[in-house]
Amino acid sequence: MNLYVVRPDGSWYVRPDITLVRDADRFCLPDDFSGARAWRCRCFRIDKAGKAVVPRFARRYVSEWAPGICFYGQRADSSCTPYLDRSTWVAREFQPLASLSEASVESALEALSRVSSQLSLRIGDFLLLEYDSPAELQRGQTLDNITIV
């Protein structure tokens, strides 16, 4: 399984599947990290394998979404890394695509098309679209019942 993360500026990268966690109550930071940044995201599950999907056919590749959070460990020098264990939280319950606004769906379909132009999509992959501004968190703070330790 691949986790394709699309940033608000349109750039994207792939997170390893070992970062995925479904039932989270704690996000643990290594000792040399001072805090974390948390981006809220929408997670779309890929239903169909494909490569170079054009936007007009992208709707065939996703049918559900779930809320999620991408955590980034923040070092003392303010640099961040997305590659920490258990740093991608996705809700277990997926909702139909129709429950989102049309603008959100179109944004996801465009992102799916951009990612698939360079990598092959597989059934079960996740496309995560970050939105809003990140929440800056220090050790001991809570975000949606997830404690940063």
CATH number, domain with residue 127:
3.90.850.10
Output the pLDDT for position 33: 84
Please count the CA atoms within 13 angstroms of the CA of 53 that sit on its side-chain side. 25
Structurally, the chain folds into a number of domains equal to 1
> Which DSSP symbol is given to 61?
G
Closest CA to 67 of 110, 11, 128, 111: 128
Output the pLDDT for position 114: 95
Predicted model pTM: 0.88
Q: Are 146 and 25 in contact (CB under 8 A)?
A: yes
Output the pLDDT for position 96: 96
Output the pLDDT for position 107: 94
Could you list the pLDDT tens digit for every one of the 149 residues in the chain? Answer: 899 999 999 999 999 888 888 776 777 788 888 888 889 999 999 999 999 999 889 999 999 999 999 998 888 787 888 878 888 999 999 999 999 999 999 999 999 999 999 999 999 999 999 998 888 888 777 777 665 54
Output the pLDDT for position 146: 63
* Cross-strand pairs, 63: none
Domain that holds residue 20: 3-148
